[in-house]
Every structure is written in C-alpha cells, then in structure tokens.
Structure 1
Amino acid sequence: MTQDFIQALKKSQNLLEKNDPLIIANHTFHSRLMLGTGKYKNLKEAKESINISETSIVTVAIRRAQYAKERGKSNLIDGLDWTKLWLLPNTAGCEKAEEAIRIAAISEEINKRLGQFNNRFIKLEVISDPYNLLPDPIGTLKAAEYLVNKNFTVLPYINADPILAKQLEEIGCATIMPLGSPIGSGQGLKNLYNIQIIISNSKIPVVIDAGIGTTSEANKAMELGASAILLNTAIAKSYNPRLMSLAMKLSVKAGRSCYLAGRMKEISHGNPSSPLNGLVK
C-alpha cells in the first residue's frame, strides 16, 4: 500500500509539473526551486544536494568562478551535468552598475563553454552595502536597463519595493526577485505585505530570493503566489544539506499546489464539518 501511495504521489507531482511549468522568457522549467552553489562544505555535498532537489536552475557567482579558474582550482561549474541544468550566472560582489554589466558580459562566454548557446540569463545583483547586503535600487535599475537593451534575460535581485518592481518589469526584465530578508540571514519573509503587492501587480514571474531559512517560509511564499524560490544558505548551512534539499523540494511543490487549489474562506465562527440533518436521536 505504501509503495502504491508513493507511486500515485509521484504521478500526480509529475502531472502538475507538466501542466504547470515555470516559464521565464519563453524557456520552460519543470522545477520552481532554484538553488545557489556557495557555502557547502565540499563539492560532493553540493552536487548531491542539488541532485536531490531536482532543481532546474542553478545560480553561480561569476566572480568566484573566475577566481577559482585563475588559480587552477575546481569549482561547481565543472562538476555538474549542464545537459540537465540551466545556468543562471549572477553578478554577486558587484557594488556598481558598471561592474555588474562587465560581469554579465563574461557570463556569456561561460554559458557557451557549457554548451548553452541560447542562454542569455543573468541574475543581476548590485549591492553597495557590504554589511546588510541590501541591493542598490538605482544601480540595479541602471544596469538592468542597459542589459535588457543588450538582449540579456535579466532577473534582478531587489528589496521588496513594489514601485521598483513595476519599473523593472516595464523596461523588460524577465522576472522580479524580491528578497524575503537579507542574504544568508535566515530571517524568513520580513515584508509579506510588500511581497504580496509585488505578486499581485506583476505580469512576469516573481521569485522570492534570499532570507528563507526553513521549509515553512518557502511554503508560505509559494502559497502567496510566488512563481519560484531561490535559496542557498538554508540548505548549505543546515546540519544535513541532503535532507534539507529534499524538504525544500517538497515544500515548494506543496506550496504551489496549495496556491493553485485555493484556500478555504475564513469565517469568524466555527462551522461543523458534518451535516446536522439526519442525526441519530
């Protein structure tokens, strides 16, 4: 019975993914969980966690990858199967728009080296605050506009600012990526009201990026209608990254299913779940 149930569950999950894929700039992805690649204890743990998650999109900091390459060190880019994964290069470490633009140009060559010749994706991060790691809204908008005009598929990382989100959408960004809370903080969803506004106003996918520390927070974001979740530290710095990777995968799927199903309406009093007529007297 248990095996039958598991098979039925997998079948229903596969059906949901087939009929409800994540679409970004005309590219279709089966998973709504995106993963970062930093902070793992070693490459083996990172690779196994990524495989267990069944993610479609993996983001890599181009600056760190280039640094490793220059020193002859191995990095995760060299160890993953890019026929099954989509690389989302990111501009982490850039403090100004001009830096981010330069790093984005480098990312094109990495994509080609991996055989992803039609991959123009770039996760845009412009962060001038090294302590709180909060994104620079002006630098982000400036870099995004330039990169969109250069035919990049821009996924900008921003604070939960509904006005900036709409501006980025209007200039042609492929997604909006508001933070839940600061990068690596594990504080969860600190500005639900603004995130809800961004989701309601957006005509492009909204990816909650940064700050998620546990499955309930990932689930909550998906229940609100977020298109996807991007996280790293919650898995990499857990006591058991492989198990947490599995938990996050299931949480994101459950949250999406809940959103599509539609929650019941709240009422101010109790309501019996069984009919009152025909009771035994």
Structure 2
Amino acid sequence: MPQSIKDPLIIAGREFQSRLIIGTGKFKDYKENAAALEAAGGEMVTVAIRRVNLDKPDAPLLMDSIDPKTTTYLPNTAGCFTGDDAVRTLRLARELGGWNLVKLEVLSNVHLYPDMAETLASLKLLVADGFDVMVYCTDDPVYCQKLEEAGACAIMPLAAPIGSGLGLLNPTNIRLVKEAVSVPVIVDAGLGTASEAAAAMELGVDGIIANTAIAGAKDPIRMARAFKHGVIAGREAFLAGRIERKQYAVPSSPMTGLIK
C-alpha cells in the first residue's frame, strides 16, 4: 500500500495525502504554477490575498489554472505588518471564497521575521471569529506552545528567513517545537532545495511549505517534483527510525566464524 494512503496529514479535521504545500507567488504565470502543483503532488496552495488576483474578470485568474474545488486554497496574510491588517485580510478572504482554513502571518520590519506579539493577538481574534488558523511563526518552542493554547490548528515555524534559501538553520529548535505541541508542525520559509525538505521531515515534522525554492528554480517543475520525493523520503526515514550514532566503526558482518 502506498505510504501516502497509510499516513495522511490531518489539519483541523481535513485529511491530505500530500505533506507538501506550495505557494502561488513568483511563478512565471498561473499555468506554470499549476504544472508545479501537479509535479509536487500537492493538494493545497497558499494564496496571498493581498497579492493574487481572485476577482477581476478582465485579468488572468488563479482559479482558471488551479481549481479550488479540487485543490485546497489556503489564504494567507503575506504583506501584513499589523494584526489588524491580518484579521481584516482573512475576513475578506472568507467573504470572497468562503475559506475558513487560513494561514496567519504578521511580519516585522526586521528582515521580515514574524512579529510574534501581533501574531498571537490576531490569532485569538481569528479563533474567536470561527477560523481554523495555521500560524507562521519563529522557531521558539515556548511561543509555539502559546499559539497552540490560543487555538492554532497548525504551527508553522520558519527554517530560515523568508525567501533566503539558507535551509534548515536550527534543527534543534524545530525538533523542540515538534515535541512541545500536539497540533501539526509544518516547516515554512527559507528552504532552498529538496534535501533540506527531507532533513526537516526526518526530524518528525508533519509537512513542508515551499514557494521561492520551487518558483525561483531554473526548472520549477523539476524542482517541485524533487521536493515531492524529498518530503516522502524524509517522512519514510523518520517513520523507519535511523540507526544510533556511534563514535567508532562497527562491523556490518559478524566477526566470528570467519574463514581462515
């Protein structure tokens, strides 16, 4: 039986076979975006409500290339620097498309790092308003616990600064975040290539979001396919259980009964 069937990702009661989420920004056009989604085997895309055209009939529409009836749209608050803007944006998203599962991100002016105080405050408002909220955040396990306690349905710590491609900078904190919360942990932002996605999945996280790493690659479709396999390989390796690290060599064959 395929791994994806035995091991679904469940977020706010919704079941997904793929553990890879891709974005809808920076692609050449929506057709390329759709091809990348297919290559990634993805079932969910993030949609920056403040940047993506959803409702202008005279311009290309994302919905023309990626059908919201077959792909889960995850509206996000990219470009929001205050909690008020984030809440207003997601309320607009619900009015536009009826979307209730959303991604909250509130950025600071310091290298686009998450503003955690604003994030936590706006999360509480959104949860009270009936949203299922996946939250982009720092890799601070204490703050991640606070987000879960405030009602987040998934925690999304950064691997590195947004769009940097620096990879998994702090695997220890990502592992501690995973241990600290019971909701799904989705590594978001900063990955550059498929091996980094695999390394994150080997820590036991539940999924990966990739946008710039795929859309900015020389061949986005091939990179999307690589991320798909990286995520699957990392998940399989985690479930399989790696061997213990040892200081010295250990023979792979018995040292007794050798031919003399």
Contact 2:21 2:208 survives alignment (8 Å): yes
1:90-109 alignment runs, 5 A limit: 90-109=76-95
1:57 paired to 2:36: no
Letter in 2 for 1:233: T
**Which range moves more in the overlay, 75-84 or 173-182?**
75-84
TM-score scaled by length of structure 1: 0.89
TM-score scaled by length of structure 2: 0.96
| Aligned equivalents of 1:20, 1:186: Cα separation in 2 | 28
1:105-254 alignment runs, 5 A limit: 105-112=91-98, 119-129=99-109, 132-254=111-233
| Aligned equivalents of 2:56, 2:8: Cα separation in 1 | 38
3-state SS, counterpart of residue 64 of structure 1: coil
Match 1:45 to one of 25, 32, 36? 32
| Aligned equivalents of 1:77, 1:92: Cα separation in 2 | 19
Instruction: State the Cα RMSD in Å.
Output: 1.5
Q: Which ranges in structure 1 are unaligned for 5 or more consecutive residues?
A: 1-11, 113-118
Q: Deviations over 1:8-60 (max 9, x none)?
A: xxxx5x2x111110001111000000000110112221111111111111110
Q: Deviations over 1:56-101 (max 9, x none)?
A: 11110011125x6458321323321223211100011111111110
Letter in 1 for 2:214: I
How many residues align? The count is 260
3-state SS, counterpart of residue 266 of structure 1: coil
Q: Deviations over 1:216-239 (max 9, x none)?
A: 110110000110000100010101
1:28 paired to 2:23: no
| Aligned equivalents of 2:219, 2:145: Cα separation in 1 | 38
| Aligned equivalents of 1:26, 1:80: Cα separation in 2 | 23
- Alignment-derived partner of residue 116 in structure 1: none
| Aligned equivalents of 2:147, 2:63: Cα separation in 1 | 29
| Aligned equivalents of 1:259, 1:144: Cα separation in 2 | 31
| Aligned equivalents of 1:70, 1:244: Cα separation in 2 | 30
- Alignment-derived partner of residue 6 in structure 2: 19
Contact 1:178 1:206 survives alignment (8 Å): yes
3-state SS, counterpart of residue 59 of structure 1: strand
| Aligned equivalents of 1:84, 1:52: Cα separation in 2 | 15
Letter in 1 for 2:46: T
Q: Identity of counterpart residues, as a percentage?
A: 43
| Aligned equivalents of 1:270, 1:259: Cα separation in 2 | 23
Q: Which ranges in structure 2 are unaligned for 5 or more consecutive residues?
A: none
